[in-house]
Structure 1
Amino acid sequence: MKLFGRRPRLQTSPTEIPGWTAEFRDTLDSVHPGLGFVAQFRVEWRRPGPSLAGRMPAGEPCRAVRELAEATAAQHSVLRFEAAEQDINHDLSRRMPLRAIGAEVTWAQVLLSVDEGTHAHAERVFQARREMEIDALTQRQTLARINFMNDEILRTPGSARIYLMLENTVRLGTLPPGTDVDLLVREVQQWRPESQWVVVAQLLHTFLSKLSSADADELLSTVRSLFLYYGEKELAEQLPSETAEAPE
């Protein structure tokens, strides 16, 4: 298996403490499910009490070091194996001497590497996740723009004209040719929510919605007669002959 990254040699303890030494290899899970590090361990240990004859088994000292390394490695990405290695060895060094069942670990070091296939797969996962985040951000921005257009820009013809004018001003640095500023100001003011005709229209709409169809038709007929009385035939013709029924 071809490994990604450097492969330095495991070091011995800087202090010569009598005891036993073990070196072994294992795999450690990373923060990415299914992707892990290749780890080389060196563990040195001794008896915690008076020395007794015979070699101590390596099981408990090595297990204690491996469990600490596993906990730290699980918080790191395989794309940052060097940072994971540094954190593991820092955590081990500050815990020395490390007590295990029937033993005392005096020195431990872990070297991490990642095989090229794992590294390449992690890069693809990272890139895919980044693209998904960009897509999600683009969708949120688009939705916010749509809501802004619906709620603010397209609410009145005046606000729509101002928006188009500003868009052209930003791109071209000047107002669109033929823009009548006075007319634009009057149109914008005309569509303000507090404008008299807007308030009247809202009140009439609310009033009509509360009437029966027959009463609403009668009211429209009365308004049409008023238009004709004041010589506004075109306005009278634009009024509907009867009120439209609200959809169920």
Structure 2
Amino acid sequence: MAEAGGTPVSQQDRREEIRQEVLASGFVRIEELAAKHGVSGMTIHRDLDVLEQQGWLRKVRGGATSTPTALLETSVRARIADAAEEKARIAEHAARLVSPGQVVALDDSTSALAVAERLPALAPLTVVTNFLSVINLLSGEPGLHLIGLGGDYQPSYDAFLGLHTATMARTMRSDVLFMSTTAVVGGHCLHRSQETIQVKRALMETAGKRVLLLDHSKFDRRAVHELAPLTEFDLVVVDAGTPAARLDELRSAGVALEVAER
């Protein structure tokens, strides 16, 4: 496969470029994408179908438009700013579970990044992560042994994702894993990206204690790929803005729940 100018590109790279374009402009036309990427309109249709399944866009007649929730994940900076106070309180609460000498695993969520900010004070620790933002934050910190999980780097998540990253994650054993998710629907964690889910599941498989970090906005979102039921986590930490009815519902379903108070 090649662009119109003759430079070979992979299917994954082409879809990433299309994703970035629709997020930047709000609307893309199929015929223009086909001409730009030097592929058929049917190929672009298939690309848009995949991106729509992942929640990045919505197909319309002749093209596609961005979705409101997709805009929340266009950059790590935007994700960090989203519910920042709630994430900070959740991270402060969750960090109490960390003891010096442990192996701590962190996923590519900004909720886990908030936990990472508190780890230098709890050293010595070994930290395992696929999130480049965490690696950059903790590199050089005294008392922290940092293990980065490599693989395919995805700029939109600032993380290493996919099969190779998941395979490496399964070789690591952590005492505690801190992670988050895009959405919670019907007592289940959901995410847009299958590559992300591969790594999250691998980290869960090798963790002694699984801790899910959920600010209340996660309950108002939707995504297509299921990660796991909330009952698979040893602890779910939510913020005080989570409605009481939601808390009662989760506890009735057998979810181990703690609220990070203000």
Normalization by structure 1: what TM-score? 0.20
Structure with higher Rg: it is: 1
Which structure: greater strand fraction? Answer: 2
Which structure: greater helix fraction? Answer: 1
Normalization by structure 2: what TM-score? 0.20
